[in-house]
Structure 1
Amino acid sequence: MVKLSLTNKRHHKTERSCRWAANLSNKRRMTMKRSNRLVARSAVALSLAASLTACGTASSTTTTAASSEAATETASETEAASTTENVGEDVWLPYNENLEKKRDDRDATGKNGAVASCNWYASKAGLEILKEGGNAFDAAAAVAYTLGVAEPYFSGLGGGGFMTIYSAKDDKVSVLDFRETAPAAANAQMWLDENGKMEQFSLDGVNNLGDKSVIGGLSVAVPGEVAGFEYLLDNYGSDAVSRQQIFQPAIDTANNGYVVGVTFKEELDSEYTGIAANETLSNIYLDESGLPYEVGDVIKNPDLAKTLQLIADGGKDAFYTGDMAQAMVDAVAAWGGNMTMEDLANYEVKVREPVVGHYKDYTIYSLPPASSGGTHLVEILNILENYDDMDKIGVNSAEYVHRFSEAFKIAFADRAQYMADTDFADVPLAQLTSKDYAAERYSEITDKSGSYVAVEPEELEHYATTSFSVVDQWGNMVACTKTINYGFGSKVGVPGYGFIMNDEMDDFSADPESVNCAEGGKRPLSSMSPSIVLYPDGSPYMTIGSPGATRIFPTIAQVIERMIDYNMDIQDAIDCARIYDNASENICYESGGVNPITPEVAKELQDRGHEVTDKGEWQLFFGGVQGISIGKDGTLRGGADPRRDGKALAY
């Protein structure tokens, strides 16, 4: 059992770090104080666009909207001029005066460029690059790095992911795999005790923080994000904008601060124990009372701003070698991990051929393994194409939901049986994506709930992932999904650099017989499915992606089908209520929102033998789709999911 002590550098953080094991009682004790603050910030939210000013010295990482005026008065004029900016002047907030997520004002329309992401700051960063003459690939890097600042709980420099990109110049779709990779020393049983049970991670040998595969150093895989976006810029970026221009929005957001939204607050509360246990993370994300910040607070991260500047100046090597790499290795080792400098130096982006499928003459490009997402996205749509009336039965009717449910269950059966990193296992991609195979599987479906040959699928990945889409005026397209896995990843912060290491090792199986077992140099199975869709004539139609763990490809399949079969606008298709099923044979559904699953439909599904679970409305469980469609007249329509904090922007 790992036994480590916490070292504190700042006096006012000492008490916080020492009392992390008692955090729940602290939260109860301060309920009244927090309630009063919440009321104040609710009022502030209404006038934030006019009054929010983030001020303070570099060592002060946060301020609240309500206290910004006082902070301004206490800062010197020199400090204020050099370190602050009115972050509230044009901030789009994803919540209303009641601190409820907005259900509208998510989409955007333009002719020259569009960005859709899970965070307004990131969408704004990408749009700025497009307006300055950069292409979609330049903008994608700006979006990605800004997401790591303003949405640090879902992705960042310490994570990885995938991109599906379309180069208009080459008329070619490619996949960039920058998925995290197991350290060379990793093995399938490194988290298990002598009885084969998952060990718990503890800093003091007494208080457990969680499974070792989820929190601590042994949960950390070698990150790929920086390598991925450096590869993108080196091979597809333009000369119209400089590296400094691309990085500047993220740097400014880290230095000047960003507003905490509802989703951010939910993640802070959910992951509080782990955050409080790590000095680096607690210094950034907890207030002076040692508690999570509230909606409406402004968080700054000057260490991350400095880190981004180092990468802007030094490229990939600044991250994977030298002082920054050593800091990562040391931080992971201090929490019991086994990642080395060699692991970092040896990381490589893999350029892969996309999985290609067709649905009613539309062409779909998506991810190959190690992601299962693209393969099973194509498989699901292939199965549904065998019905000649999908466009007539009505969205979210009982028959519609039943068909999707059965297609999902078949896909998950095949996923559990076959899917893994193709560098380590043979995966029958041609079979799984073929029309003949889909027709064979379709023939097994009846009007009753069916069971299909498979083991229960592992719940790989967390919903704590992010996604974005970019389209530029030349027709270049990027669909990207990236992650640090669970909220705030492994809870291992990198001291002095301001970012969080992933806990992607949890996406492997601890079973050495599994095709997805952990091995050194291997990439874990994923469900990520950033996709590009072409019209029947071969011209670009949409770029789309979503977070959401194993719900990713089922969610994307529903949005694509509704746009093609029901001619839905992309925002309408995103808003529409969703379902999910896997080999557990339990349909999870949204009973509220747009086109909800009604009680009558739920009853009919039960009569057909389905188990059903009502998830309510607008649930984060069902992902957060971000996409852009291209009309035949060239109009760009960006759509962003109201289940997250997303916003599309266009011009």
Structure 2
Amino acid sequence: MIRDNFSNMQSVRKNVVTVENGGVVAAQHKHGAQVGADILAAGGDAIDAAIATSFAMGVVEPWMSGPAGGGAMMIYRADEDRTYCITFGMRSPAGLDVADYPLSGEGVAGDLFPWARVVGDRNQIGATAIAVPGTVAGMGLAFDRFGTMPWRDLVSPAAKLASGGLSVDWYAALIIASSTRELAKNPTAAETFLEDGHWPTIAGWTALSDKRINLDRMAATLQRIADKGAREFYEGDLAAEIVADVRDAGGCLSLDDMKSYQAILSDPLATSYRGGMVYTPPAMTAGENLAECLEILSHQDFEGTSPGADAYGAYVDALKTTYKRRLRDMGDVDDSRAPACTTHFSVTDRHGNMVAVTQTLLSIFGSKVVLPGSGLLMNNGILWFDPEPGRPNSLAPDKRCLMNVCPAIGQHKDRRFAIGASGGRKILPAILQLTSCLMDFDMTLEDAFHQARVDFSGGDTVIIDQSLSPDIVAALGERHRCVTTRRTAFPYAFACPAGVLRQGNINQGMTEIMSPWGDAVAEHRDGS
């Protein structure tokens, strides 16, 4: 069955960024990518640039990610010809009491997951939704193990960005407007993002606006992290201030939670595919689901230079298989209504090192709590847990959160690539199809990102890009409940990917073609 949401068609193109003997950063916000590219130009490598980009993205997209979030990163070291994984997912506080999250009996919650609703949405909004953050620890571990430039030089650019404030363009205004009611419940969040309890005004139809949101407190916090190191966030005076502010707001985060938090460096999952390799994060991510999908696809042969009906059918079948297992065994429940509330960026340098990072606050604006001392927007990682007991992902104290992130590094023939995406459950389908485009069909990075995608995220409906040929749409409709829709700038019916690719000494970067904010930026050295 096919339901068509739109009848007219449009075509959008975005150019791939290419550089010879230089590095590239591809991110969901060009200003964040520029910070990473500047680090490459200053002599840093891909890991240095990724650390700098991570902190910068928390400034230019504060509703997506930040120091008080979590995620995962994949690292390829060209000098070792080896791939590593660093996971820095959030954890529930050790002092969390499940009894503080009673079920209301009022049906299904309305945010990312269709859990049973908790009284007062305590697992979703406010300080009771805050989990132990991991992003700063993840970047700190990457620096300790692989960093080449001074830590201060990597974090200070984000502090400088924050000191200039957040530009309120139409997208920022729209995102703030979508969360105004919840932001208004927290005094510091309201003071930071709202104007007299309302979303900020922007310019008229034909005018430009220089309106900026003051992020001075965040800037000062980032500079403290730059000056004192990553563990200041977990063990120093800053950690004590964060804990005090969270507890004053009603949360249960403790200093012991912060001090005991450690990111994890491990070997990735390694999946052989089409004579190449794909590396993904291990447990508590969607990495093992991507590996399962690739194993299923490996038993089929596809013809042509781009995916046809057989390939798209195989994608959906593989996704249905892995989501059935994920929802049953890993405890993660689907809701394809969820907006993209994560960020992803990928980096490659002139030496061939690569990094893919996905980081998140979970919901848009996380818990909708901004701490008065640090100015940090806090996560709502507790929402990742099912509030009903007796399930694989049920809420409990001192427990790792199950994430949808799936940064990946692949190698096929003479090419290597690093990709990932934001978009909740839509991440896995996007990364599966991009990987197939690059490895099954030897497509260019540019063509792979422009290739129409389908989405199946564990519900009962396959979402199809309406630009696919009628034959492919009809073939999928014969076997699945389908809906066609347009690939647009907002909202995203599909995930929002970013990736880099290296072939010889040529590096390329590409971001989601419909995102006007995402872009790839090449390093520029004087005289190059």
Give the direction of change, closer, same or farther, for the CA distance of 1:118–1:261 in structure 2 (3 Å limit).
Answer: farther
Number of equivalent positions: 499
SS of 2:493's equivalent in the other structure is helix
Aligned to 1:377: 290
1:572-625 CA deviation, whole Å, 9 max, x = no partner?
A: 21222211124433111221xxxx23455434433x231112232235231211
SS of 1:269's equivalent in the other structure is helix
Amino acid at match of 1:556: I
- Do residues 602 (structure 1) and 473 (structure 2) align? yes
Give the direction of change, closer, same or farther, for the CA distance of 1:250–1:209 in structure 2 (3 Å limit).
Answer: farther
How far residue 194 of structure 1 moved from its aligned partner, in angstroms, is 7.1
Aligned to 1:576: 451
**Mapped partners of 1:145, 1:262: distance in 2:** 23
Q: Once structures 1 and 2 are overlaid, which stretch shifts more, 468-477 or 303-312? A: 468-477
1:217 to 127, 134, 153: 127
Decide whether the 8 Å contact of 2:242 with 2:373 is kept in 1: no
Aligned to 2:324: 413
How far residue 195 of structure 1 moved from its aligned partner, in angstroms, is 5.5
Give the direction of change, closer, same or farther, for the CA distance of 1:170–1:228 in structure 2 (3 Å limit).
Answer: same
1:260-280 CA deviation, whole Å, 9 max, x = no partner?
A: 345433321211111222222
- Do residues 298 (structure 1) and 170 (structure 2) align? no
SS of 2:184's equivalent in the other structure is helix
1:16-42 CA deviation, whole Å, 9 max, x = no partner?
A: xxxxxxxxxxxxxxxxxxxxxxxxxxx
**Mapped partners of 1:495, 1:468: distance in 2:** 29
How far residue 145 of structure 1 moved from its aligned partner, in angstroms, is 0.5
2:154 to 231, 246, 249: 246
Aligned to 2:357: 480
Amino acid at match of 2:291: V
- Do residues 148 (structure 1) and 58 (structure 2) align? yes
1:603-651 CA deviation, whole Å, 9 max, x = no partner?
A: 4433x231112232235231211110011x2200101113432110114
* Greater radius of gyration (CA): 1
Aligned to 2:190: 282
SS of 2:422's equivalent in the other structure is coil
- Normalising to structure 2: TM-score of the pair? 0.88
SS of 1:625's equivalent in the other structure is strand
Amino acid at match of 2:441: Y
Aligned to 2:403: 526
1:625 to 478, 481, 497: 497
**Mapped partners of 1:251, 1:156: distance in 2:** 12
SS of 1:277's equivalent in the other structure is coil
Amino acid at match of 1:392: G
2:304 to 392, 400, 405: 392
How far residue 218 of structure 1 moved from its aligned partner, in angstroms, is 1.9
Aligned to 1:638: 509
Aligned to 1:494: 371
How far residue 284 of structure 1 moved from its aligned partner, in angstroms, is 2.2
- Normalising to structure 1: TM-score of the pair? 0.72
Decide whether the 8 Å contact of 2:138 with 2:263 is kept in 1: yes
Decide whether the 8 Å contact of 1:221 with 1:503 is kept in 2: yes
Aligned to 1:566: 441
SS of 1:543's equivalent in the other structure is strand
SS of 1:620's equivalent in the other structure is coil
Equivalences for residues 154-553 of structure 1 within 5 A: 154-186=64-96, 190-193=100-103, 211-238=121-148, 241-287=149-195, 290-294=198-202, 296=209, 297-371=211-285, 373-388=286-301, 390-392=302-304, 394-395=306-307, 397-419=308-330, 457=334, 463-536=340-413, 541-553=416-428
**Mapped partners of 2:305, 2:447: distance in 1:** 18
How far residue 243 of structure 1 moved from its aligned partner, in angstroms, is 2.7
Decide whether the 8 Å contact of 1:462 with 1:485 is kept in 2: no
**Mapped partners of 1:506, 1:460: distance in 2:** 16
Aligned to 1:650: 522
Amino acid at match of 2:319: F
Decide whether the 8 Å contact of 2:487 with 2:493 is kept in 1: no
Aligned to 1:13: none
1:344-375 CA deviation, whole Å, 9 max, x = no partner?
A: 1111111222111122011000011111x111
SS of 2:479's equivalent in the other structure is coil
Aligned to 1:112: 22
SS of 1:478's equivalent in the other structure is strand
Q: Which has the higher contact order (CA 8 A, sep 6+)?
A: 2
How far residue 514 of structure 1 moved from its aligned partner, in angstroms, is 1.3
Give the direction of change, closer, same or farther, for the CA distance of 1:401–1:650 in structure 2 (3 Å limit).
Answer: same
SS of 1:165's equivalent in the other structure is strand
Gaps of 5+ in 2: 1-9, 112-117, 204-208, 524-528
How far residue 554 of structure 1 moved from its aligned partner, in angstroms, is 1.1
CA-based RMSD of the aligned residues comes to 2.8
Q: Percent identity of the aligned residues? A: 29
How far residue 192 of structure 1 moved from its aligned partner, in angstroms, is 1.8
Give the direction of change, closer, same or farther, for the CA distance of 1:169–1:523 in structure 2 (3 Å limit).
Answer: same
How far residue 508 of structure 1 moved from its aligned partner, in angstroms, is 1.2
Decide whether the 8 Å contact of 1:588 with 1:612 is kept in 2: yes
Decide whether the 8 Å contact of 1:160 with 1:225 is kept in 2: yes
Decide whether the 8 Å contact of 1:191 with 1:198 is kept in 2: no
Decide whether the 8 Å contact of 2:36 with 2:50 is kept in 1: yes
Give the direction of change, closer, same or farther, for the CA distance of 1:287–1:167 in structure 2 (3 Å limit).
Answer: same
**Mapped partners of 1:494, 1:186: distance in 2:** 20
Decide whether the 8 Å contact of 2:487 with 2:494 is kept in 1: no
Give the direction of change, closer, same or farther, for the CA distance of 1:487–1:194 in structure 2 (3 Å limit).
Answer: closer
